[in-house]
């Protein structure tokens, strides 16, 4: 055991970092700007604890997102901790940690439901139950014109807030829910009654644990059991004999996660605590994230922490710091020694921007000075044109946070319609690829596999088996599309798919240009499938982008589809290469890259109004180390460019 300062590789800690690394106070908070070395300093503090004799498995680091787990592991390796030691540390999201504690306390794992589409039937049942309970005192307040299915998206958004803020748990248990109280809480009465029924259904499954858990239910369920005393700080599941507890991205902590954190601190009284965060990186406010949990709530409910600063960004130049500071309306200092080149590229159309970005990526592969290029798109559909240009130039790339565009269900649907309409299955020669094609067609047609031989299986398994059989050879694939996908499709979807195939069958470029999207009506098609409007809009936008790309090929209808097949094959032959990566901004949180490109900073494309959009741009711009490139349409620049003093 030694109290000498841990000596990192690659960096020399500043005095501020050293102070945090060596401080022995039980509670410490660090609020600092993006790039000011919060995660690195957390890594230094962890390394110092190990040097002082702590066992790796007594260190717990919690984050709110999976990319932040990766970022902390990277920083730990960067400062010289052997990978084997990093593996032994407990670095988890609040969600994963809570699920693990619950599994131990409940003696088994509850089923985890991961998509809005899979949770939808439970929400619909909850609405119907709420509207039909005989003891309901205000039935007239539950009446609505809308069908239950149309209410699901809004309800799930509200449920996120109810869970994250633990709204119901803070009410007096004797208090009866009334329309007035629901109003006072900021939710409709139907929302509150449906929530109650939804929770009744969700928790009603197994005697010891809920029937299922959805996003955010890990911390929520654990926090609820802690508040009710069913799990206590003295329970073995929480007594982890911890020596150090850290939280990165503390700004994105909500009430449920904070309740879990309080219990972990209480259960491990000998552990020191360090939390770091940046108020301007809150991008999960829809789940009740609140920077107050590293401020007033922390003081009131956990104790008065020491507060130490990290005043300068170490990632990028003072010039970039000035721009992001202007965007976030706060002072921003940065290390003079770091140079970051900022480049604004005016592109009159998304297609020109895509071509520019592809050339940048090509040049990136041809040089050695910069390692990583990350293109951070605001919406996944924006990657279609960019990926297409990359494939045209033969530039290898990877996608993170979304699937490459040729693998997404929307692309497979459109290609599948063409393949079936023209009986040209070029590019779908292998069964694995046909399996994905059939799943996409089933998804958008709304058809269910209904086979007498498969009735003993649950619907997901029945679909899997039927699709695998149908994908085995091309004749079976054709027969399945006719006999299952189209025959048992939702009637309106069937009309749309038939109309789209009729256009494709004409193999006429003008008809394809003028009528394909009208016939397919992607938004209506997608809105039947996806719960969230934003997901439906993204899927529809994706199909629109694909149509644009096909038109711009000027190769005729058949030529464009043949090109998609050829590009798909070429992409699959490409060796994995992480030097050029396209990703969502969310998937880049906490990470950094030599060159960052943020495309489409134009009105109507990035999103302007909500503070969440501003914070997303702040996160995106602050990922850059040596180069930041922003593209925008000069005829309609985003207001954020002016706010960041990048244009007049």
Ligand X SMILES: Nc1ncnc2c1ncn2[C@@H]1O[C@H](COP(=O)(O)OP(=O)(O)OP(=O)(O)O)[C@@H](O)[C@H]1O
Q: Which is nearer to ligand X, 13 or 210 (CB)?
A: 13
Q: Which of 55, 91, 50 is nearest to 72 (CA)?
A: 91
| Cβ atoms within 10 Å of 504's Cβ, excluding its own | 25
Q: Does 592 bind ligand X (CB under 6 A)?
A: yes
For the chain, how long is the longest CA-to-CA vector?
A: 78
Q: How far apart are CA 190 and CA 13, in angstroms?
A: 55
CB of 590 to ligand X, least distance (A): 4
Binding to ligand X in span 36-95, by CB under 6 A: 36-40, 75, 78
- Choose, by CB under 6 A, the member of 20, 27, 29, 34 that binds ligand X: 34
How big is the chain by its Cα radius of gyration, in Å? 27
Q: How far apart are CA 123 and CA 71, in angstroms?
A: 35
**Dihedral Cα 578, 579, 584, 588, nearest 10 deg:** 90
Q: Is 624 annotated as a binding residue?
A: no
CB of 319 to ligand X, least distance (A): 16
* 447 burial type by CB count under 10 A (0-12 exposed, 13-18 middle, 19+ buried): buried
CB of 35 to ligand X, least distance (A): 5
* Beta carbons within 8 Å of 619's beta carbon, 6+ residues apart: 34, 281, 283, 585, 588, 589
Q: Which is nearer to ligand X, 622 or 631 (CB)?
A: 622
Q: Which is nearer to ligand X, 314 or 627 (CB)?
A: 314
Angle subtended by helix axes 217-228 and 255-267, to nearest 10:
60
* 593 burial type by CB count under 10 A (0-12 exposed, 13-18 middle, 19+ buried): buried
- Choose, by CB under 6 A, the member of 278, 387, 410, 633 that binds ligand X: 278
CB of 280 to ligand X, least distance (A): 9
Binding to ligand X in span 285-314, by CB under 6 A: 314
* 33 burial type by CB count under 10 A (0-12 exposed, 13-18 middle, 19+ buried): buried
Segment contacting ligand X by CB under 6 A, of 27-35, 562-570, 598-606, 634-642: 27-35
Q: Is 526 annotated as a binding residue?
A: no
Q: Is 353 annotated as a binding residue?
A: no
CB of 59 to ligand X, least distance (A): 17
Q: Is 635 annotated as a binding residue?
A: no
Q: Does 595 bind ligand X (CB under 6 A)?
A: no
Q: Which is nearer to ligand X, 334 or 531 (CB)?
A: 334
DSSP 533-554: HHHHHHHHHHHHHHHHHHHHT-
Q: What DSSP element (H or E) covers 94?
A: helix 94-106
Segment contacting ligand X by CB under 6 A, of 9-17, 145-153, 178-186, 428-436: 9-17
Site string for ligand X, 233-272 (x = CB under 6 A): ----------------------------------------
Q: Which is nearer to ligand X, 75 or 364 (CB)?
A: 75
Q: How far apart are CA 507 and CA 120, in angstroms?
A: 39
CB of 323 to ligand X, least distance (A): 15
CB of 40 to ligand X, least distance (A): 3
Using CB under 6 A as the binding criterion, the count of chain residues that bind ligand X stands at: 21
Q: Is 257 annotated as a binding residue?
A: no
Q: Which residues are annotated as a binding site for ATP?
A: 32-39
Given the rule CB under 6 A, which residues bind ligand X?
11-14, 17, 32, 34-40, 75, 78, 278, 314-315, 590, 592, 622
């Amino acid at each position: 055991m030694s109290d000498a300062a841990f000596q990192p590789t690659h960096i020399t800690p500043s005095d501020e970092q050293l102070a945090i690394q060596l401080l022995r106070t039980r509670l410490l908070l660090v609020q600092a700007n993006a790039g000011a070395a919060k995660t690195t300093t957390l890594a230094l503090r962890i390394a110092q604890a190990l040097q002082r004799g702590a066992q790796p498995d007594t260190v717990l680091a919690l984050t709110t997102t999976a990319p932040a787990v990766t970022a902390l592991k990277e920083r730990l390796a960067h400062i010289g901790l052997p990978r084997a030691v990093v593996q032994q540390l407990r670095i988890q999201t609040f969600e994963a940690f809570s699920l693990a504690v619950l599994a131990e306390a409940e003696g088994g794992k509850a089923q985890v439901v991961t998509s809005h589409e899979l949770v939808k039937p439970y929400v619909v049942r909850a609405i119907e139950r709420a509207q039909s309970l005989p003891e309901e005192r205000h039935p007239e307040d539950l009446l609505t014109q809308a069908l239950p299915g149309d209410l699901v998206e809004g309800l799930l958004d509200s449920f996120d807030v109810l869970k994250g803020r633990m709204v119901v748990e803070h009410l007096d248990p004797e208090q009866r829910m009334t329309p007035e109280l629901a109003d006072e809480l900021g939710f409709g009465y139907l929302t509150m009654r449906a929530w109650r029924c939804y929770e009744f259904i969700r928790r009603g499954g197994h005697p010891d644990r809920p029937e299922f858990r959805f996003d955010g239910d890990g911390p929520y369920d654990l926090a609820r059991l802690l508040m009710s005393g069913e799990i206590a700080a003295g329970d073995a599941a929480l007594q982890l004999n911890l020596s150090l507890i850290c939280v990165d991205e503390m700004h994105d902590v909500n009430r449920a996660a904070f309740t879990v954190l309080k219990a972990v601190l209480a259960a491990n009284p000998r552990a020191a605590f360090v939390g770091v965060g940046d108020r301007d990186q809150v991008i999960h406010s829809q789940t009740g994230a609140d920077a107050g949990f590293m401020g007033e709530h922390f003081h009131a409910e956990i104790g008065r922490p020491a507060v130490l600063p990290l005043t300068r960004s170490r990632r990028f130049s003072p010039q970039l710091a000035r721009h992001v500071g202007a965007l976030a309306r706060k002072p921003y200092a940065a290390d003079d020694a770091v140079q970051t080149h900022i480049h604004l590229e005016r592109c009159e159309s998304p297609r020109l921007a895509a071509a520019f970005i592809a050339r940048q990526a090509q040049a990136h592969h041809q040089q050695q000075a910069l390692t990583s290029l990350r293109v951070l798109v605001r919406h996944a559909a924006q990657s279609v044109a960019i990926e297409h240009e990359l494939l045209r130039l033969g530039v290898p790339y990877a996608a993170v946070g979304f699937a490459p565009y040729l693998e997404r269900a929307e692309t497979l649907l459109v290609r599948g319609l063409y393949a079936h309409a023209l009986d040209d299955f070029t590019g779908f020669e292998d069964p694995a690829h046909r399996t994905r094609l059939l799943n996409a067609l089933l998804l958008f047609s709304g058809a269910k596999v209904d086979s007498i031989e498969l009735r003993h299986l649950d619907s997901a398994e029945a679909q899997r088996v039927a699709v695998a059989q149908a994908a085995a050879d091309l004749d079976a694939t054709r027969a399945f599309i006719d006999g299952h996908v189209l025959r048992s499709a939702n009637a309106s979807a069937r009309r749309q798919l038939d109309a789209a195939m009729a256009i494709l069958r004409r193999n006429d470029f003008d008809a394809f240009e003028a009528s394909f999207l009208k016939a397919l009506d992607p938004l209506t098609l997608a809105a039947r499938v996806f719960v969230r409007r934003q997901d439906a809009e993204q899927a529809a936008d994706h199909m629109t982008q694909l149509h644009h790309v096909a038109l711009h090929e000027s190769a005729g209808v058949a030529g464009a589809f043949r090109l998609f097949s050829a590009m798909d094959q070429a992409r699959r032959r490409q060796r994995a290469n992480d030097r050029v990566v396209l990703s969502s901004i969310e998937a880049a949180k906490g990470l950094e890259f030599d060159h960052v490109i943020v495309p489409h900073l134009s009105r109507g494309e990035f999103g302007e109004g909500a503070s969440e959009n501003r914070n997303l741009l702040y996160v995106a711009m602050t990922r850059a180390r040596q180069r930041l490139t922003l593209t925008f349409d000069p005829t309609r620049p985003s207001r954020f460019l002016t706010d960041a003093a990048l244009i007049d």
